[in-house]
């Protein structure tokens, strides 16, 4: 990844309370990250579950923009765009407005970066495909079958 992208992500990690930031493709691969190193598989699993949620919303003609998981001691902010999702891990949300502004700026930069866009569209897959290809357990199958295409 370009040094610009590393710098943009580092700007987010430099904010108080942010421990890590990851840009993940629609295939669940980490394409760029900054901050705390997390086992690739772990972020992949987080991305996979979020992509399944996105896929279900897409099936009903809705487009997801953001999902946050809020707990007393952590927060995960997932911001979605057509070919990537940017996950931000926080252990405190004292500077949340600043985190959001910086994230929006970073996303705007990423969307304008031609090299990044070429790479991410090539390595991605359509969000509607994700849910069609996924393997579900019994409870998931029962629930997802209620969302007829």
Partner 1 sequence: MALVGNLRDLKLANLIQLNCMEKNTAKLTIEHAGKYGIIYFHGGQIVHAEYDPDIGDNAVYRLLTLEEGNFKVEGGVRSPALTVESSWSNILLEGLHQIDHRKSAEDGINQHLLEMLMNIKGVERAAVISANGSAITSNFTDPDGFVLGAWTVMEINQLISEAQLGTKDFITVVSDKNRLLLREYNDQIMYIELADKIQIDTILPFIQKAFVTV
Return residues touching partner 1 (CB under 8 A).
Answer: 42, 45-46, 49-50, 52-53, 56-57, 60, 62-74, 76, 93, 96, 139-140, 142-144, 146-147
DSSP-derived secondary structure letter, 47: H
Dig out the tokens for 64 from the structure.
């997801």
Q: Which is nearer to partner 1, 4 or 68 (CB)?
A: 68
Minimum distance of partner 1 from residue 30's CB (angstroms): 14
Minimum distance of partner 1 from residue 144's CB (angstroms): 7
Q: Which is nearer to partner 1, 42 or 122 (CB)?
A: 42
Minimum distance of partner 1 from residue 33's CB (angstroms): 15
Q: Which is nearer to partner 1, 42 or 114 (CB)?
A: 42
Dig out the tokens for 109 from the structure.
């930069």
- 27-56 b/e (C-beta count within 10 Å ≥ 16 → b): ebeebbbbbeebeeeebbebbeebbeebbb
CA distance 81 to 127: 10
Q: Which is nearer to partner 1, 105 or 143 (CB)?
A: 143
Helix or strand run (H / E) with residue 9 = helix 3-13
Minimum distance of partner 1 from residue 11's CB (angstroms): 21
Give the three-class secondary structure for 135.
coil
Residues in the chain, total: 149
């Amino acid at each position: 990844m370009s040094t610009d992208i590393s710098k943009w992500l580092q700007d987010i990690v430099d904010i108080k309370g942010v421990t890590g930031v990851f840009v993940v493709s629609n295939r669940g691969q980490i394409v760029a990250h900054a901050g705390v190193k997390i086992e690739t598989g772990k972020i992949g699993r987080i991305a996979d579950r979020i992509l399944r949620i996105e896929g279900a919303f897409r099936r009903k003609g809705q487009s997801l923009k953001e999902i946050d998981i809020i707990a007393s001691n952590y927060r995960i902010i997932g911001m979605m765009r057509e070919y990537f999702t940017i996950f931000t891990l926080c252990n405190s949300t004292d500077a949340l407005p600043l985190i959001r502004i910086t994230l929006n700026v970073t996303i705007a930069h990423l969307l304008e970066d031609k090299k990044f866009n070429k790479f991410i569209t090539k390595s991605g897959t359509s969000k509607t495909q994700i849910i069609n290809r996924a393997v579900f357990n019994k409870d998931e199958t029962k629930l997802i079958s209620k969302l007829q295409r």
